């Protein structure tokens, strides 16, 4: 399983970005969390197969929310991400 941490910047708060990210993750079978950060960005911890993770990352870059817009994404592989059984929206 691939474990990826992302920080997404742009118009990503107040546009349904976290909930659309959850819907996308559920559709692809990705587990993890998504949360708003104080600086206006969104952080995502995700766990899934290589194929599904590649799809997830691309769809996040394209913004899962029609009203959102991603201008920058920091993507890091992180083997220390906790194994989750679902995908949750936090905060």
Which residue numbers are catalytic? 18, 36
Asked if residue 90 lies in contact with residue 50, where contact means CB atoms within 8 angstroms, the answer is no
Asked if residue 46 lies in contact with residue 25, where contact means CB atoms within 8 angstroms, the answer is yes
**Can you tell me the distance from the alpha carbon of 14 to that of 85, in angstroms, rounded to the nearest whole number?**
27
**Can you tell me the distance from the alpha carbon of 36 to that of 14, in angstroms, rounded to the nearest whole number?**
10
């Amino acid at each position: 399983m691939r474990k990826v941490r992302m920080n997404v910047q742009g118009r990503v708060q107040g546009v349904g970005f976290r909930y659309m990210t959850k819907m996308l993750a559920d559709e692809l079978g990705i587990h993890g969390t998504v949360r708003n950060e104080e600086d206006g960005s969104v952080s995502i911890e995700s766990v899934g197969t290589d194929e599904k993770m590649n799809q997830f990352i691309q769809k996040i870059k394209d913004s899962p929310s029609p009203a959102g817009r991603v201008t920058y994404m920091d993507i890091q592989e992180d083997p220390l991400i906790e194994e989750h059984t679902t995908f949750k929206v936090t905060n």
